[in-house]
Amino acid sequence: MKLMNLKGTFDFLPNDQVIRNKIINTLRTNFEKYGYLPLETPILNYYDLLAYKYDSGAEILSEIYKLKDQGDRNLGLRYDLTVPFCKVIGLNKELRMPFRRYEIGKVFRNGPVKLGRTREFYQCDIDVVGIDNRMIEAEQMLMAIDTYKELGIEVFVKYNNRKLMSGLIKESGVSEPLVSNVIGVIDKLEKITHEELISNLKDLGLEDNIIQDLLTNFDYSFQEYESKFQDTQNENIKEGITELKELNEYLKALEIDKDCKFTPTLARGLTIYTGVVFEFYDKKMRLSCALGAGGRYNKIITDFMNNGNEYPAIGLSFGLEPIYTILKSDNKNNSLIDIYLVPLDTNVECLKLATSLRHEGISVLVEMNKKKVGKCFEYAEHENINYVSIIGSNEIESGEVRVKNMQTKEETTLKTSELKDFLKK
């Protein structure tokens, strides 16, 4: 048998996993700072549950990993965390609204593999059900900008409103049954050539005059939309502009408007979105794909519950893989070990010293294989361990240790009692 990973899946060795853990811990801390509560849902689901919100021809359905259990039931691996969240709301009717949750877990997609996109990956999601105003949209965008900044990544935000998009498409003469398909094409405007865009629209059966109106209507600034459609009778356009205007006021008040760019062609692809949508991009463009995205989806849970009540919802997903790809290129020293103690026939004394340091929150590795001192230094250098101390009988008797900084190669002599304070600094 040839040992290899399935394409689009990876093993993450300690140096890499340190970075990934840092991302997850940073996200979890920020999620909880904003009042989101932890949730965990099963990876394995009934296929009908995963597929219920999409038409049979939806692209995402072709990416679901399908399987059967011993009872011949159709199952699938979850491809996102939104549908399982909807299921939780449906099964737990006693939950108080609004309900905020976060979930960090693996999802699976049998789709194309490229830089920043794999088949097995983590999604790190926050969702709120029970709030329908632009205040929560602005707060989520602010939280994302601040969280990426804490991770060392400056981002800019593209945002739009699906109501405005739908209204502009209808205003251009497109019939209702084709609106969703046209949204999917318009969403690709920045990713394909002008000729490809027109070809795709013609494939939908649109006439030249309608295509020209579409291109014109999706080429205005927000101020131009406000002016051009101030007296419009198109309810979708009217509501979209009103919601975006309210959102813009929040973004300006929060002083993040300079990091946010209104993008009328942004749709977020999936048909679930009903209002504001947004995507986050690295300002340095080390990756061209979005590092995270989200938006409002007011119908899914409402339809799921089907009890006559409204369940407005909005969610945001951070992409662990693209964030990891960027941080991996920036991080050199990823060791979790603060100091490496090498005993020279002082095993018991070393273990006692290591125990006292660990009680102070210091990470300690004790050499147990009687490696030669030179080999120990080589090991520490290879593993990016910051400090090494050789502990022999002289050190035990004198109560002093020498600590070598593996980056600067400088040695410092300290009393054993001073070691914890030295390492904490």
Do the Cβ atoms of 364 and 357 come closer than 8 Å? yes
Rounded to an integer, the average pLDDT of 401-421 is 93
Do the Cβ atoms of 323 and 26 come closer than 8 Å? no
Record the tokens describing residue 384, joined without a space.
């990016």
d(CA 300, CA 11): 35
Work out the pLDDT band at 55, boundaries 50, 70, 90: low
Question: Which pLDDT does position 116 carry in this prediction?
Answer: 58
Q: What is the mean pLDDT of the chain?
A: 92
Question: Which pLDDT does position 403 carry in this prediction?
Answer: 96
Record the tokens describing residue 192, joined without a space.
């394909």
Other CB atoms within 10 A of residue 119 CB: 18
Exposed e or buried b per residue across 346-372, where buried means at least 16 C-beta atoms within 10 angstroms of its C-beta:
beebbeebbeebeeeebebbbbeeeee
pLDDT digits (tens, 9 = 90+) for 329-347: 876 666 789 999 999 999 9
Question: Which pLDDT does position 189 carry in this prediction?
Answer: 81
Indicate if the pLDDT at residue 208 is higher than 80: yes
Question: Could you tell me the fold of the domain covering 14-330?
Answer: BirA Bifunctional Protein; domain 2 (3.30.930)
The domain ranges of the chain are 14-330, 339-424
Do the Cβ atoms of 137 and 296 come closer than 8 Å? yes
Query: Exposed, middle or buried: residue 246 (CB in 10 Å: 0-12, 13-18, 19+)?
Result: middle
Indicate if the pLDDT at residue 224 is higher than 80: yes
For residue 401, the cross-strand partners are 414
pLDDT digits (tens, 9 = 90+) for 17-52: 999 999 999 999 999 999 999 999 999 999 999 987
- Mapping DSSP to helix (H, G, I), strand (E, B) and coil, where does residue 339 land? strand
Question: Which pLDDT does position 269 carry in this prediction?
Answer: 66
Question: Which pLDDT does position 316 carry in this prediction?
Answer: 94
Indicate if the pLDDT at residue 362 is higher than 90: yes
Q: Virtual CA dihedral for 18, 24, 27, 29, nearest 10 degrees? A: -80
At CB < 8 A and 24+ separation, what contacts does 144-149 make? 144/280, 144/292, 144/316, 144/318, 145/256, 145/259, 145/280, 146/30, 147/26, 147/27, 147/30, 147/318, 148/280, 148/291, 148/292, 148/323
Question: Which pLDDT does position 300 carry in this prediction?
Answer: 85
Question: Which pLDDT does position 57 carry in this prediction?
Answer: 59
pTM over 0.75: yes
pLDDT digits (tens, 9 = 90+) for 231-279: 999 999 999 999 999 999 999 999 999 999 999 999 986 678 999 999 9
Domain 339-424 matching CATH 3.20.20.140: the answer reads no
d(CA 142, CA 154): 12
At CB < 8 A and 24+ separation, what contacts does 131-136 make? 131/98, 131/312, 131/314, 132/298, 132/310, 132/312, 133/246, 134/243, 134/246, 134/247, 134/250, 134/276, 135/250, 136/314
Rounded to an integer, the average pLDDT of 126-140 is 96
